[in-house]
């Protein structure tokens, strides 16, 4: 991915606008801080990913990969 710019940030990490180098498709990439991790992955990130994988709605961002 090619980083285009920072979209925002918060307590748990930062969100960047990125472009896939091969397809040119644009994504939001969330980079999570590792301050509160358990076994290498923050518990909040695990919960968020599990919920986003189940959702399919036009107003909620689609999770492509973890």
- At residue 9, the 3 state secondary structure works out as strand
Domain 2-54 is found in CATH 3.40.1380.10: no
Q: HSE-up of 34 (CA within 13 Å, CB side)? A: 3
For the segment 39-58, what is each residue's pLDDT rounded down to a tens digit? 677 788 888 889 999 999 99
Q: What are the extents of the domains in the chain?
A: 2-54
Q: Is the dihedral of CA 19, 40, 63, 60 positive or negative?
A: negative
30 is in an annotated binding site: yes
Q: What are the φ/ψ torsions at residue 29 (nearest 5 degrees)?
A: -115, 125
Q: Which residue, 1, 7, 15, 4, is CA-closest to 48? A: 15
pLDDT-based confidence at residue 36 (cuts at 50, 70, 90)? low
């Amino acid at each position: 991915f090619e980083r285009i710019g920072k979209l925002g940030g918060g307590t748990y990490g930062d969100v960047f606008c990125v472009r896939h180098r091969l397809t040119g498709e644009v994504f939001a990439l969330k980079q999570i801080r590792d301050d509160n991790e358990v076994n290498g992955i923050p518990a909040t990130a695990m919960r968020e990913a599990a919920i986003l994988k189940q959702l399919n709605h036009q107003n909620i961002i689609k999770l492509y990969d973890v």
